[in-house]
Structure 1
Amino acid sequence: MARTAHKELTRQRLLDQGVTLLMERGYHGTGLKDILAGVRVPKGSFYNYFASKEEFSAEVIRHYIEPFVRQLDDSLKRPEVDALTALKDYFRSLIAELERRRFVGGCLLGNLIGEISDTNATCLAALRDAVHRYRDQLERGLAKAQREGTVRTDLSAAAMADLLADAWQGALLRMKVERSVWPLEALVGHLLEGYFRA
């Protein structure tokens, strides 16, 4: 049992290191040697955890999106706030974290979509799944806000979730160019405080 727990802990540490390095250096700039050195795992041992760099990167993508989906779900389950307020609070917390990190990184999904989605089928499938999971969680939140009467109903929650997810990715790229969170703040203002309002 202890050996299984140790193996799972090492696997999680490899995934955490993968998120950090893929965010900083991208897929092509990250080698297995760098990943393993940060976790102090011998090179030959990598294949006890992952079949290839492609499969490792796909797992990193799944590992990366999970806390965002969970955080959004937790925000929407708060009984003391309505869904629209929960969505705004959620995005404001992301904005505050990005500002704290000095606009570095952005979103691993957006970064990898731009870098490898045309050339890596394994990662493309993981990226698509992650984007859909996130978009679906946004859709649930917007549908709840519609039921609560705070968000317009002439547009479907699915269409608004797509727009919000797509615009967020674009605003993250603009943030990196501008070295400012104003594109993200403008997005939240225009959509969640304006266009989506009932």
Structure 2
Amino acid sequence: MARLAAHTDTRQEILDSAYGLVGAKGFSGVGLSEILTSAGVPKGSFYHYFGSKEAFGEALLADYFESYLADLDTTLAEPGLSHAERLMNYWRKWQATQGGIDDQRKCLAVKLAAEVSDLSEPMRLALKSGTAAIIERLARSIAAGVAEGSLTVESEPHTTAENLYHVWLGASLMAKIVRTDAPFEAAIGTTRRNLGLTSH
């Protein structure tokens, strides 16, 4: 049991150390030696925990989405708020973490989607699974908001959730290009309109 715990801890340390590096440089731009040095793990031990760099990337995304979805569940269940308020809080948190220049806080789905989807089928599928789970949670919250009367939508909830997630992915990419919050402010406006919320 102790050996298993040590194995799990070391594996997690490698993953944790990689987030900031991959967030800053991308997946291809970070070497294994750099990740292992950051984690304080001997260079020869990487393949004891991951079969390949691609398998490591797949594990990194799975670990990232597990944490992301747990945070999303907390946000969408915050007590004392309507579902509309919880949803808007989620997108405001998105803006707060995706804006600015702190790459360590950036969403790996935004950072890696274009880079790895054509290079690694397992990583593409990990991205697909993770983003689908996000959209499903948003859809459930939208449906609940419609039921309680805090928001209205013209399309069915899943389509609305999917469209809004796409809007925010695009806004994140454009914000990287223009280096301002203007794409996020536009996304907030689009989100409020899609949810039938007032402009103030």
Normalised by the length of structure 2, the TM-score is 0.89
Q: CA deviation at 1:153?
A: 4.3
Q: Deviations over 1:160-188 (max 9, x none)?
A: 11111111110001111122223113212
Give the conservation status (yes or no) of the 8 Å contact 2:153–2:196.
no
Q: Distance in 1 between matches of 2:90 and 2:70?
A: 11
Hey, what does 1:85 align to over in structure 2? 85
User: What are the equivalent positions in structure 2 for 1:34-113 lying under 5 Å apart?
Assistant: 34-99=34-99, 101-102=100-101, 104=103, 106-113=106-113
With over 3 angstroms needed to count, the CA separation of the structure-2 counterparts of 1:110 and 1:102, relative to structure 1, is closer
Residue type at the aligned position of 1:88: M
User: What are the equivalent positions in structure 2 for 1:139-154 lying under 5 Å apart?
Assistant: 139-154=139-154
Q: Deviations over 1:70-124 (max 9, x none)?
A: 122112212300111001112212322344x536464321222211211211111
Give the conservation status (yes or no) of the 8 Å contact 1:104–1:176.
no
Q: Distance in 2 between matches of 1:103 and 1:188?
A: 21
Q: Secondary structure at the match of 2:170?
A: helix
Residue type at the aligned position of 1:177: I
Give the conservation status (yes or no) of the 8 Å contact 1:107–1:169.
no
Q: Distance in 1 between matches of 2:34 and 2:153?
A: 49
Q: Percent identity?
A: 33
Hey, what does 1:24 align to over in structure 2? 24
Give the conservation status (yes or no) of the 8 Å contact 2:139–2:160.
yes
Normalised by the length of structure 1, the TM-score is 0.90
With over 3 angstroms needed to count, the CA separation of the structure-2 counterparts of 1:2 and 1:131, relative to structure 1, is same
Residue type at the aligned position of 2:138: L
Q: Distance in 2 between matches of 1:24 and 1:102?
A: 9
Q: RMSD of aligned C-alpha atoms?
A: 1.8
Return 5+ residue gaps in structure 2 as ranges: none
Question: May I ask how many residue pairs the two structures share in their alignment?
Answer: 196
Give the conservation status (yes or no) of the 8 Å contact 1:103–1:179.
no
Q: Answer 1 or 2: higher relative contact order, Cα 8 Å, separation at least 6.
A: 1
Q: CA deviation at 1:134?
A: 1.2
